[in-house]
Amino acid sequence: MTGRPIGVGVIGLGNSGWYYHAEGTLERSSDYDIVAVSARRRERTAAGAQRFAARGHDDWRDLVKDESVDVVVVATPHDQHAPMTLAALAAGKHVVVEKPMASTPAETEAMLAAADEHQRILTVFQNRRWEPSFQIIRTLLADGAIGDVWRSEERRMHRGKYTVAGVDRAHAGTEPAAWAHSMEGGGGVVNLIAPHLVDHQLLLHGGLPRAVTATMHRYPQDDVEHHGDLRLDYGDGVAARIEVFRECDVNLPKWSVFGSSGTIVADDFDELRLIRPGRDDEVFGGLAPLQACGEFYEQLARAVRDEGPVPVDPRQAADVVRVLDAAHRSAASGGALVAP
């Protein structure tokens, strides 16, 4: 495979599949060739096939059997992640699946087992690991810039409902994405936004917490929550807090990380401050949120060619699902402590 581009088939041509994976990253890379696409609607499949000069499959099952496809990207509603991934692995394809990896821990275990059984790569698009602010925070903590970390907080706020893709960019459509606001589709703000933040906190704190507690708020007319507040307990007073909003008109701090000798604060996506007693604040500016992710796919190309590790260990992504599952169980029982 070293001498030719890696053939990619993309299942799901919405906000993520079209704009983050295909248009945002894959078609810009000499490592890949988008050879096949499949969407829920036939007209979207046809549009994607024309746009990316790829073969269109009206049925995603035909895409995973396509001999020109080396890697399948599963960029669909959350409830479809596990069955599509299992089918692609069984067909001998490597798989990139959107976050969250699956809807339940049991599904993640089945996916991990299938990857081992078929000896194929399975990785998860936790692309915000490469977000500039998070990269800087990881470096500062590794360098001991604020001493021993005892608390970290991370928040994300949306301005309204999760909408379908627009004609030229993600989330620019006028209609809400129905699956994202239904329990059946695996929607809700915790499943939509929190996987990125949970992944961040697990990496910063070295793995799973000993317990999770959560509260979630749902309006009576809605099927899923619009706000989630997750607390991760690591013992000895060390904790992480994750808060996500579907609709919030107030810009709360995106990051606060507290250590024994300093604090890191990011009020927005543009700037991060390192604050230490007796020293001038150190400011890291010109930052931006991340959507597409060339670094992820560069590392994946090396992994496919047996030249390096996968960009995201699927076992770490499975741990994210375990925390989300524990959070939902905690919230359902009034905020009880739940082991992930």
pLDDT at 181 over 90: no
With beta carbons less than 8 A apart as the criterion, state whether 173 and 312 touch. Answer: no
Q: Output the pTM of the full model.
A: 0.95
pLDDT at 337 over 90: yes
pLDDT at 177: 79
Return all residues near 163 (Cβ < 8 A) that are at least 6 apart.
171, 172, 173, 174, 175, 176, 177
Mean pLDDT within 98-120: 98
pLDDT at 105: 98
pLDDT at 102 over 70: yes
Torsion angle of alpha carbons 20, 306, 320, 92, nearest 10°?
Answer: 80
Q: Calculate what percentage of the chain has a pLDDT beyond 90.
A: 85
Mean pLDDT within 152-171: 83
- Distance (Å, whole) CA 337 – CA 170: 37
Lowest mean pLDDT among 169-178, 268-277, 286-295, 308-317: 169-178
pLDDT at 204: 97
pLDDT for 7-60, tens place per residue? Answer: 999 999 999 999 999 999 999 999 999 999 999 999 999 999 999 999 999 999
Q: How many CB atoms lie within 10 A of CB 178?
A: 14
Bridge partner residues of 10 (DSSP): 37, 73
- Residue 326 in tokens: 């524990």
Classify 6-128 by CATH class: alpha beta
Bridge partner residues of 95 (DSSP): 72, 122
With beta carbons less than 8 A apart as the criterion, state whether 288 and 132 touch. Answer: yes
pLDDT at 171: 79
Mean pLDDT within 243-255: 91
With beta carbons less than 8 A apart as the criterion, state whether 258 and 150 touch. Answer: yes
pLDDT for 136-149, tens place per residue? Answer: 999 999 999 999 99
pLDDT at 310: 98
pLDDT at 2: 59
Mean pLDDT within 244-268: 94
pLDDT at 163 over 70: yes
Q: How far is CA 33 from CA 48, 69, 248, in A?
A: 14, 9, 40
If you average pLDDT over every residue of the chain, what do you get?
Answer: 94
Instruction: Tell me which CATH homologous superfamily contains domain 130-292+322-332.
Output: Dihydrodipicolinate Reductase; domain 2 (3.30.360.10)
Domain ranges within the chain, ordered by starting residue: 6-128, 130-292+322-332
